[in-house]
Amino acid sequence: MEWISDWLKQIILLVLIATFIDLLLPQQSLSRYVKLVLGLLIILAILQPILQLLTDQLSVDQLLKGDQNASKEAAIPSIATIQRQAEEIKSNQQHEWIKTWKSNFEQQLKKLLDQRYPQLVRQIEISVEWKDQQPHLNQILFILRNPNSTNQKVDPIQIDPFIQRDNVEQKRNQQHLKDLIQKDLQQFWGIDPKKVQMEFE
């Protein structure tokens, strides 16, 4: 507030001096000119705060920037930074949650399938999508051992004419297994059979 009082004092004194000088002036012919200049001086004194603002090139942007700098100095992060950090934490949390959920589900799946079909499951790959604040199952990929190789440790010697017939039978077996597993999954967890994929080694 000090500058306002200084500013007002300056204007008042200038007006006083101007009046005084108007009286002191010797002749009428020059007084008009002197009055003009004194009037301009008073206008300048009135405009001085605005003039200072303009000469310092203070724009609103700069003032805002100044505020940001001040907040940086005071070690208070801006709202944008806080929001960014919050997003980072959120995405990290989601990531962790998905990871835990996946590993738990994988363990349970493996446990169940191992009980029912021992030695069959080799690997389970689950793909999950984050939707509506919770994980959604996209697809489950089972990599299974060949049922024939798991059940029969020693393969019988195969004779050529039978190979084709064996292959057809193997495929039928595989399809049957697939159907069984899909059915189980639907029964236990209500998983859509379309989401379940199987590959045999």
Question: CB under 8 Å to 82, separation ≥6 — which residues?
Answer: none
Does residue number 30 form part of the binding site for other proteins (CB under 8 A)? yes
Q: Locate 63 and state its tokens.
A: 């003032």
Are 173 and 147 in contact by the 8 Å Cβ rule? The answer is yes
Q: At its nearest, how many Å lie between other proteins and the CB of residue 53?
A: 9
Which range binds other proteins by CB under 8 A, 32-40, 126-134, 172-180, 183-191?
Answer: 32-40
Does residue number 22 form part of the binding site for other proteins (CB under 8 A)? no
Q: Locate 156 and state its tokens.
A: 């019988």
- State whether residue 154 is helix, strand or coil: coil
Q: At its nearest, how many Å lie between other proteins and the CB of residue 65?
A: 20
Q: What is the total residue count of the chain?
A: 201
Which range binds other proteins by CB under 8 A, 12-20, 77-85, 134-142, 147-155?
Answer: 12-20
Q: At its nearest, how many Å lie between other proteins and the CB of residue 26?
A: 4
Q: Locate 140 and state its tokens.
A: 């489950």
CB atoms within 10 A of CB 48: 15
Does residue number 45 form part of the binding site for other proteins (CB under 8 A)? yes
Does residue number 41 form part of the binding site for other proteins (CB under 8 A)? yes
**Sheet arrangement for strand 134-144:** 121-131, 134-144, 196-200
HSE-CB for 15 with a 13 A CA cutoff: 8
Chosen residue from 1, 15, 19, 38 binding other proteins by CB under 8 A: 38
Which range binds other proteins by CB under 8 A, 34-42, 102-110, 123-131, 180-188?
Answer: 34-42
Residues in contact with other proteins by CB under 8 A are 6, 9-10, 12-14, 17-18, 20-21, 24-27, 29-31, 33-34, 36-38, 40-41, 43-45, 47-48, 50-51, 54
